Amino acid sequence: MAEQFDVIVVGSGVAGLSTALAARGVRVAVVTRGVIGLDGASAWAQGGIAAAIGPGDSPAQHALDTLKAGCRRNHKAAVRWMAESAPDVVRWLVDIGAEFDHIGANLALAREAAHSFPRIVHAGGDASGAEVMRALRSAVELASHIKVFERSQVRELIKLNQSVVGVAVQGAARADGEAEAFELYAPHVVMATGGIGQLFLNTTNPPECDGSGLALAHRASAELNDLEYIQFHPTALAPQQPGQGEQLPLITEALRGAGARLVNEQGQRFMLSLHEAAELAPRDILARAVWTQMERGHQVYLDARMIGDAIRQRFPTVVRSCQQRQIDPRSELIPVVPAAHYHMGGIKVDLHSMSTVPGLYAVGEVACTGVHGANRLASNSMLEGVAFGRALGERLARMPKTARIPPVGLGIWREPNKGAPISEAMVFARLRQLMWSTAGLMRYEDALESAVDQLQLLERRCLAGAKVLDQLLVGRLLVSAARKRTESIGAHSIQPRRPQVSGQAAA
């Protein structure tokens, strides 16, 4: 089967659905691995959307905070445009039905780390992503120009005359257990596949965030940029069994903005001596401080007891996560660990979200727009996804219609051969452990060099067509990028060799 569209969007998070909705007047296909709007990281976002709409605030100050957090490695024009677009992004989301929290007639604004003003628009206290995705999903369901392909995975980008012209898709499994294979064609293919958190043992990201979009783009010869810049959130709910490698619930940064403090098992508030902003220091500093405590054999906790009963109304998502672990945050400490959270690198794009390959675009976390630099400012991610996605969709809708693309029928993907010499699940588990220990918060040149060799060995042991080859490829590209950047900056911290310390970091 082959079907023609004007635009194909791969992914159904905030960036993908914003692109699809904005491309009114043309036929749009949305291909998503799960259920539209529910797979991927967007629905899990707690913090909200940064927008300079409060008293005394300005887009210029928002841009300055973004540049400071990013160690001024940001694309300044992209940062300026995004900050100026933020108020309109909030208005657009309200227009399509998003219900944000209010104080009286005004939107409630929270403050998060490294922001100069309260400027975080949120919903349901700490359920902002879920509310934004609900509104976007509802709008897509009513949009006659969008056709959705759920439970379908793009296995390859199709190229013709050096341009991307379509996607080869593995569809949902039929009653007989076999998956339908089909091709979709369009002059514009938009990658919106999210991040790479699942490549690491501890992550706040769901299973779909496994780097597959980066692998697809790389194989299509698109340039990737800043792969080494990975933000680790300092406060994910610690796993009950260290080393089990599950998606960890996020303990939102807004909780620290409300007064929660980081302490170790001895009650020491260690951030006071490390940064003038203490618990509101930039995320990379906080995460590495937590990591260092763990390497020294300490357990780290978030103390939110001073918030009292108000925590139930202000942070219901956090309370539910804690209750599932039989923790009452009103009276008990919350055990936390750092976890892979957001990828600042990705497919290199220009201000119009165009990659280095004609016909291929990228928005959201899979893209490297340059707005985040070496470290993302909190709550700029949903803003980036909606702002760039919406602008791209509107631009593509204005493009001149092109002639029908003849089906290429390359047959360039296939299912893995049966009886692989090594279990893909075992390979993926080994990959996550290896990435966590060598390419995590603290990186060491000798360990990165060894990791490249180990990843290449794992690739050789997998048969052609194995899906885990995508993750091994991205892992190897990331480790290689980390080796090349010998300067510690922002989210990237590197030393020649691991120092000898007492204790060991929890897996």
305 is catalytic: no
CA distances for 202 relative to 279, 378, 502, angstroms? 21, 19, 22
DSSP sequence for 299-347? -EEEE-GGGTTHHHHH-HHHHHHHHHTT--TTTS-EEEEEEEEEES-EE
Contact of 133 with 14, CB cutoff 8 Å: yes
Q: Tell me which residue has tokens 């990705």.
A: 346
Beta bridge partners of 444: 495
DSSP H or E segment with residue 413: none
Beta bridge partners of 262: 302
What gap in Å lies between CA 204 and CA 223, rounded to an integer?
27
Tokens of 302: 């978030």
Dihedral, 474, 382, 376, 111 alpha carbons, nearest 10: -150
Tokens of 189: 């293919």
DSSP sequence for 65-80? HHHHHTTT-S-HHHHH
What gap in Å lies between CA 129 and CA 316, rounded to an integer?
13
Q: Which of 155, 283, 314, 376 is catalytic?
A: 283
Identify the DSSP state of 380: -
What gap in Å lies between CA 386 and CA 370, rounded to an integer?
16
Q: Are strands 120-121 and 230-237 parallel, antiparallel or unpaired?
A: unpaired
Active site residues: 283
